[in-house]
Structure 1
Amino acid sequence: MTSPPAIPAAVALPAERPAHRDGNVLRWLGAYTASTVGDNVYYLALSWAAVSTGTPAQAGVVTAVSALPRALLMLGGGVVADRFGPRRVVIGGDAVRCAAVLTAAAVLWLSDPGLWPLTLLALVFGTVDAMFLPAVGALPVRVTGPGQLARVQGMRGMAIRFANVVGAPLGGLGVALGGAAAAFGIAGLLIAVSVPLLVSVRMRALPSDEAAGAAADASGAADGESAARATAWHDVAAGLRHIRRSRVLGPLMLAIALGDLGFVGPLNVGLTLLADERGWGASGAGWVLAGFGAGAGAASLLLTVRGRLPHAGWITGGACIAGAAAIGALPHAPSVLAAAGTALLVGLLAGTSGALCGALLQTSAAPAYLGRVTAVASLVSLGFAPLSMPLSAAAIGAWGTGPVFAVSAVVCALGGVVALAAPGLRRAELPG
């Protein structure tokens, strides 16, 4: 694989400093936060506009349209990030997303065109996300030193929690003031804020292993195919080989997949159905979800302040197993307060293991493959794991919350078992 020329912003940075005191990291964090809040506003505006314009079934189709190109193109997006550099892809992706959302806002403001512009917007957003998400995941290792990656993952988690809390009310305010067009306008402006911030972020020069990556690509090509002639499919295959051959990345991907499959369904669908089953009502479900959010936020804050946790592999596996036990205990909580406390524990443990998984992935992947490695992890979390939500809902309807939460806990715990059973991952440490 031929490496692109170094971009002007790629410079060797000074010695490591704490990420929360590093202006370079804080500019990246500001860009990431603005873009993520904008995403939350966008999704609310899209749902509201689709429901207001069409039938519920049509609205469901519109909101689901972006998922298909994202799932189909995600691995190719990792290739794009590795070939052209994640900085270029993230800046370009945010610029295109901003233009698309502001265009939709203008169209809705000037006319009532029906569902077609919303469907086109969702399609464009999903296609760009397939390139954008792997590049976003590959950026942290380039804006700070290896010893600060756990802290950066904690800061990223806090940004996500902030966006989840602020985004929906901000989108609702936009809808109340000027309809979906105003909400789309707010989303576009927030995404626009990220672009100049990203342009100002300097990239840390990584160890030059592109030559090694190209050699590995060439050795895997049939009949001595030149790396310069490698196709995108060959690049994808080379990335998958890199994961499979790594003593850390292979089991880490399996652990992430199992953890997400066991976690996403119960926490996104199961909690609402549990509250309904137990007669806690919408307020009870809100308290339980708030408990989970508080726990996940606490985990992010802990990593932001602490910076580095020793024995990262051990903690990842142990937190996953303990979190699985807490998931299994949720449907047996005797009251809303007990369920909220249990959900807080789930958030704390899941947030810790998730952030450490992200940091281990970044430090274990060779720089030449980081975009593709991140793409595989994103595909597992955003493409496959959400499929468990309708399955969980159907299973709860048939057998109730207790058995379904128990099965989900077992699946999640298997991810921790994989992490602890694989020697390379179990003994993995983050750089100090």
Structure 2
Amino acid sequence: MIVVEAPSRALPRSYLVWLLGSTVSRFGDAVLMFALGWAASGLGGMTAALVLTVSGLPRLVLLVVGGAVADRVGARRILIAGEAALLALTVVLAVALARFGTPAWLLLASSLALGTVSAFCLPAAGSQPRRLVPDDQLSRALALRQGVGQAVLMAAAPLGGLLVGWVGVAAVAWGDAVTLGVGLCVLIAVRDLSDSAPGTVAGSAIPRLDLADGFRVVARTPGLRSAFLLVGAGAALMLPVPSLLVPLLGRASAWSAGETGIVAGAVGVGVIGAALLTARRRRPSASARVGTGHAATGLAVGAAGAFVLAAGPMLGGRGAGPVAVVGALAFGVGHGIFVARLAPLVLGRAPRTHLARVQALVGLVQLVPVMVTNSVLGALAEHTSPGWSLGATSAALAVCAAWARRFGQPHGATSRSA
């Protein structure tokens, strides 16, 4: 079985310590990303979308390489090297922001550099729950990671909005450098973190990466194929909402940075609530059909939330208003349901020798559609309004929800427990 009844024993200490260090680093990154996104949104919808798109380009090229390297060399080694590189880049960015401000070229260059390092870190980090916890605790570990990650985003968005107006973007970058340093120290100090490379051949000086092997694993596993299709569709429509459309909606509605941060943070509150409800379930189903059915529910709830969020400025006046916050909260709940139901299915079905490679492909199948929808939605927001972009997103999510519910039914009989 992929997921069994939640055990009563605590999660392993090594996992909790790793999660703590990772959370500290992600918090600083999230605050900085909101600050940079806010600065980019002030240069226009196309510029804001381009900054997000450029950050995805190196991941598009290097994610598969990063996953193969993590499986062969060791996830811990890759995470330490990546954290050190991010620390160095953030220090350089802080100095450049203090010297030049926030011109488009600097925002684009920093997005490109940070995206390159992330391409190697993301697969290694995504594989750690399966490496550090027993299979019967995987659902709890993933729910905890999802909840903590969204708590970071929830706190980072309003904090980022306040700090941008208070101390400026350069100071925010220096704060991120501090949190990255803390995370790096945790990774170095805790030596019992997973550093095995299951696919490494003993005595091999240069590990064979076999970049296509992850694609073959996904192609021959029915449960993974269906889950990957849903991940790509959901990511294309859900990820641009808090990162691109909410800042653009805030600018168009004359919200302050703090008000915009509150609306973006409400998305995180909704995701946390959905993650906690999922973690409380004693007997989550391992069926791929049931998993896709719950994913369809998440898409439908997200569609409703996006529609309400689009209507918020019109119904709630100049301020962020309760309508926009409620819409963002509902969207977050839908997003949380979607992720919480698919993540254990994907990671639980992946062979242990291909954990990082499968996680790299998860990132890839999100990146490619998102790079397209970021550009399309940004252009639509600039030529019409952010409200129209959110309305189009809501309609597309509703269509995907109907498709996902029909899609899961014929494949349910062929999906087997791992």
Q: TM-score range by the shorter chain?
A: 0.7 to 0.9
Match of 1:70 among 49, 59, 78: 59
Partner of 1:251: 226
The answer on 1:370 being equivalent to 2:355 is yes
Match of 1:157 among 134, 142, 146: 146
Partner of 2:396: 407
Task: Work out whether residues 264 and 388 of structure 1, in 8 Å CA contact, stay in contact via their aligned partners in 2.
Answer: no
Q: Write the deviation string for residues 378-427 of structure 1: whole angstroms up to 9, x where unpaired.
A: 11223422422443465684995656533332124434443443237755
Give distance in 2, aligned partners of 1:28 and 1:79: 21
Task: Work out whether residues 105 and 182 of structure 1, in 8 Å CA contact, stay in contact via their aligned partners in 2.
Answer: yes
Task: Work out whether residues 27 and 179 of structure 2, in 8 Å CA contact, stay in contact via their aligned partners in 1.
Answer: yes
Partner of 2:122: 133
Give distance in 2, aligned partners of 1:123 and 1:325: 33
Moved more, 355-364 or 380-389: 380-389
Give distance in 2, aligned partners of 1:273 and 1:122: 18
Partner of 1:310: 285
Give distance in 1, aligned partners of 2:96 and 2:106: 8
Partner of 1:260: 235
- Residue 395 to residue 41, structure 1, CA distance change in 2 (3 Å): closer
Partner of 2:14: 24
Partner of 2:24: 34
- Residue 20 to residue 124, structure 1, CA distance change in 2 (3 Å): farther
Partner of 1:301: 276
Partner of 1:224: none
After TM superposition, list the pairs within 5 Å mapping 1:80-119 onto structure 2: 80-106=69-95, 111-112=99-100
Task: Work out whether residues 41 and 48 of structure 2, in 8 Å CA contact, stay in contact via their aligned partners in 1.
Answer: yes
Among all aligned residue pairs of Structure 1 and Structure 2, give the percentage whose two residues are the same amino acid: 28
What runs of 5+ residues in structure 2 fail to find an aligned partner? 1-5, 317-321
- Residue 88 to residue 352, structure 1, CA distance change in 2 (3 Å): same
- Residue 295 to residue 59, structure 1, CA distance change in 2 (3 Å): closer
Q: Alpha-carbon deviation of 1:83?
A: 1.6
Give distance in 1, aligned partners of 2:339 and 2:357: 19
Q: Which amino acid letter does the alignment assign opposite residue 131 of structure 1?
A: F
- Residue 391 to residue 188, structure 1, CA distance change in 2 (3 Å): same
Partner of 2:296: 321
Task: Work out whether residues 154 and 266 of structure 2, in 8 Å CA contact, stay in contact via their aligned partners in 1.
Answer: no
Give distance in 2, aligned partners of 1:392 and 1:50: 15
The answer on 1:145 being equivalent to 2:120 is no
Q: Write the deviation string for residues 328-370 of structure 1: whole angstroms up to 9, x where unpaired.
A: 4457769776776666455334313312322222221112211
What runs of 5+ residues in structure 1 fail to find an aligned partner? 1-15, 215-226
The answer on 1:181 being equivalent to 2:170 is yes
RMSD: 4.3
**SS at structure 2 position matched to 1:318:** helix
Task: Work out whether residues 267 and 332 of structure 2, in 8 Å CA contact, stay in contact via their aligned partners in 1.
Answer: yes
Q: Which amino acid letter does the alignment assign opposite residue 25 of structure 1?
A: Y
Give distance in 1, aligned partners of 2:191 and 2:409: 37
Moved more, 23-32 or 126-135: 23-32
Task: Work out whether residues 303 and 398 of structure 2, in 8 Å CA contact, stay in contact via their aligned partners in 1.
Answer: yes
Partner of 1:418: 407
Match of 1:382 among 367, 370, 374: 367
State how many pairs are aligned.
394
Give distance in 1, aligned partners of 2:344 and 2:406: 19
Give distance in 1, aligned partners of 2:132 and 2:409: 30
Partner of 1:361: 346
Q: Which amino acid letter does the alignment assign opposite residue 87 of structure 1?
A: R
**SS at structure 2 position matched to 1:422:** helix
Q: Alpha-carbon deviation of 1:105?
A: 2.6
**SS at structure 1 position matched to 2:31:** helix
Larger Rg: 1
- Residue 384 to residue 288, structure 1, CA distance change in 2 (3 Å): same
Task: Work out whether residues 33 and 163 of structure 1, in 8 Å CA contact, stay in contact via their aligned partners in 2.
Answer: yes
Q: Alpha-carbon deviation of 1:44?
A: 3.8
Q: Write the deviation string for residues 190-233 of structure 1: whole angstroms up to 9, x where unpaired.
A: 11111222231634698x9748xx8xxxxxxxxxxxx999865x
**SS at structure 1 position matched to 2:222:** coil
Moved more, 285-294 or 74-83: 285-294
Moved more, 128-137 or 159-168: 159-168
Give distance in 1, aligned partners of 2:116 and 2:161: 26
- Residue 259 to residue 27, structure 1, CA distance change in 2 (3 Å): same
Q: Alpha-carbon deviation of 1:176?
A: 5.3
- Residue 21 to residue 169, structure 1, CA distance change in 2 (3 Å): same
Q: Alpha-carbon deviation of 1:79?
A: 1.4
**SS at structure 1 position matched to 2:285:** coil
Task: Work out whether residues 299 and 348 of structure 1, in 8 Å CA contact, stay in contact via their aligned partners in 2.
Answer: yes
Task: Work out whether residues 312 and 428 of structure 1, in 8 Å CA contact, stay in contact via their aligned partners in 2.
Answer: yes
Moved more, 375-384 or 59-68: 59-68
**SS at structure 2 position matched to 1:139:** helix
Q: Which amino acid letter does the alignment assign opposite residue 182 of structure 1?
A: A
Give distance in 1, aligned partners of 2:416 and 2:173: 47
Give distance in 2, aligned partners of 1:276 and 1:44: 14
**SS at structure 1 position matched to 2:22:** helix
Task: Work out whether residues 127 and 359 of structure 2, in 8 Å CA contact, stay in contact via their aligned partners in 1.
Answer: yes
| TM-score of the pair, normalised by structure 1 | 0.74
Give distance in 2, aligned partners of 1:294 and 1:21: 24
- Residue 338 to residue 49, structure 1, CA distance change in 2 (3 Å): closer
Match of 1:352 among 337, 341, 345: 337
Task: Work out whether residues 28 and 175 of structure 2, in 8 Å CA contact, stay in contact via their aligned partners in 1.
Answer: yes
Match of 1:242 among 217, 223, 241: 217
Task: Work out whether residues 75 and 195 of structure 2, in 8 Å CA contact, stay in contact via their aligned partners in 1.
Answer: no
